[in-house]
Amino acid sequence: MTNSTQLRQCADPIGVFDSGVGGLSVLRALRAELPLEPFVYIADSGHAPYGERDDSHIIARSHAITRYLLEHHHIKALVVACNTATAAAIQRLRQDFPELPIVGIEPALKPAASNSKTKHIGVLATRGTLNSEKFRALLASLQDQAHFVVQPCDGLADAIERDDAIKTEALCAYFTRAMGQFGLNPGEMDTLVLGCTHYPFAIDVLHASVGEAVVFLEGGAPVARQTRRLLEARSWLATQGAPVARAASTVFGTTGNAGQLQSAIARWLQMTSDVQTLSIT
């Protein structure tokens, strides 16, 4: 690789996509871990919710968005900031785009099993994630380490997406109540794994349902660290040669309602940004 190619590669952005606004929780972790990197974030809200769609739909959308990010933004890496898309499509994406570093996200079952004191752990996720072969294999590999109570949360990601506080509160209460007892006593769940990138934006509501003592685990920070490792190994970090003028910019696009994504960016990232309305096929 020539020096000029290396400089261009360092300056290229990291692509991030989710079915909607939930991936902003991952983008928040990425921006904290990699503050000099430019990003492009795509919310595929016009084709959501992924968690209630079949694998063929999710694979097709993931493929189309990856192709768009490569062709229009020349991304140097891709973060699949969606548990459902990771479970359904990441293997196919890695086969079809072998030169592109791709990082996915999965429910944090392993750290939960390692750190739980009671060894009783709750898992909230979409039905698509829980029914995936990838999740079932992960769960099976840890069955001798902890007891997991798995809860599909139909409608919760969509309620958070729409910023519907009343429905979000009702669903959080309903799903956590259905799981059983949370707490620090033997037989109680002391850890709750948030298996959808939307759910961290309902942490306050969830804490009200299960208690402040329960530990919440999400996947954003591990994804950010893995993204750094992959770029570092290729000498593609912005700090390894990119012009600083390109650094720290974030471009946002959505296939759905631009105002909805703008509101979420302002609320959860504390920043203002233009949002492009996209047609990605």
Q: What is the DSSP string of 12-76?
A: SPEEEEESSSTTHHHHHHHHHH-TT--EEEEE-GGG--GGGS-HHHHHHHHHHHHHHHHHHH--S
Domain architecture of the chain: domains with CATH? 3-105+220-277 (3.40.50.1860), 109-217 (3.40.50.1860)
Q: Which residues fall within 8 angstroms of residue 17, CB to CB, at 6 or more apart?
A: 23, 41, 42, 43, 44, 62, 65, 66, 69, 78, 79, 80, 81, 82, 85
Instruction: With beta carbons less than 8 A apart as the criterion, state whether 264 and 252 touch.
Output: no
Residue with the bigger pLDDT between 179 and 6: it is: 179
CA dist 137 and 29 (Å) reads: 26
Known catalytic residue at 172: no
Reply yes or no on whether the pLDDT at 217 is more than 70. yes
**Which pLDDT score, from 0 to 100, does residue 249 have?**
87
DSSP state of 189: B
For 116-144, the pLDDT digits (tens) are 999 999 999 999 899 999 999 999 999 99
Instruction: With beta carbons less than 8 A apart as the criterion, state whether 7 and 242 touch.
Output: yes
Considering 10, 153, 172, 196, which one is annotated as catalytic? 196
Known catalytic residue at 82: yes
For 37-87, the pLDDT digits (tens) are 999 999 999 998 888 788 999 999 999 999 999 999 999 999 999 999 999
For 167-176, the pLDDT digits (tens) are 999 999 999 9
Considering 10, 82, 153, 172, which one is annotated as catalytic? 82
Bridge partners (DSSP) of residue 37 are none
Specify the DSSP element, H or E, that contains 78.
strand 77-80
